[in-house]
Structure formats: structure tokens, C-alpha cells
Structure 1
Amino acid sequence: MEVKIGVQNASRELVIDTELSGDDVEKAVADARDQGLLSLTDTKGRRVVVPVDKLAYVEIGSPTVGQVGFRS
């Protein structure tokens, strides 16, 4: 699952590929409001931690995998 996180006052968004489902990511974002930090782990085991008060948006979607060549 590809997750894009927009951070206030940052020129680039964070892009994370995680093994969590979309519902699990949504639950992690909702739970983070109480804890103050959003923590997600990517497929390589790296952890990304963002303060909740700095979140601009969280976009949850599936990556397009295996597209090679021309599409019609």
C-alpha cells in the first residue's frame, strides 16, 4: 500500500510503501490523534514518525506495480 503524507511547511511529501492495508493505515492515523505522533513502518523496516499537529494530509492508495512499456 502506498501512503503519501503531506507535512506542513515542507516542500515535499513523504511517500511510504507499507504492508498495512488501507483500513489499517486509516486506523493508525485516527489513533495517532490521541498519541500526538503518527508512526508507520515501510516494507524495508524503516519507521517514519510525524507529529500529528504538522500533518497536512494523508493519501492512502495502491501503487501501480509492474507497468512496463506502452499502454493503449
Structure 2
Amino acid sequence: MDIRIGITNSPREINFETLQSASEVEAVVANALDSAAKFFKLSDSRGNVYIVPVDSFGYLEIGTEESRRVGFVS
């Protein structure tokens, strides 16, 4: 699943693919925002960890869980 995180006052976004489900990603971010945490962590499909400060968090875009088709469709 594709994840896109917007950071305030930054023209760039954080983009990565993760093996976590959409509900797991939503739960991590919602818990961080509700609990007044300083940051939240998400990991990508290669094992890299992204630590996002809640103060700089702008938005979260969660892509579909479908796999991409490769090749031609007739």
C-alpha cells in the first residue's frame, strides 16, 4: 500500500510503500494525535522506519491495497 505524508512548511512529501494495512496506519497516526505524542513511526516494505514529528505533520494519504497490474490488458 502506498503512503504519502505531507509535512508543513515543506514542499516535499514522504512517499513509501508499506506492508501495514490501512487500518493499522490510521490507528498509529490517530493514537499519536489523540495522545499528544511528540512523534509517530511508520515502516516501509523494506524495513526502513520513518519518524514523523506531530508538530510538523500536515496530512496523510493512504493508497489502495490492490496490487498494480503489469502488462497489457486486451
**Category of TM-score, reference length = shorter chain:** 0.7 to 0.9
In 2, the alpha carbon distance for the partners of 1:7 and 1:67 equals 32
Q: TM-score, normalised by structure 2?
A: 0.82
**Identical residues among aligned pairs (%):** 35
In 2, the alpha carbon distance for the partners of 1:68 and 1:15 equals 24
Structure 1 residue 29: deviation in Å?
A: 0.4
Structure 1 residue 66: deviation in Å?
A: 3.0
**Pick aligned residue for 2:69 from 60, 66, 70:** 66
- Give the aligned length: 71
Any stretches of 5+ residues in structure 1 without a counterpart?
A: none
Any stretches of 5+ residues in structure 2 without a counterpart?
A: none
- The 5-angstrom pairing of residues 26-65 of structure 1 reads 26-33=26-33, 34=35, 35-62=37-64, 65=68
Q: TM-score, normalised by structure 1?
A: 0.84
Q: What RMSD in Å do the two structures reach over aligned CA positions?
A: 1.8
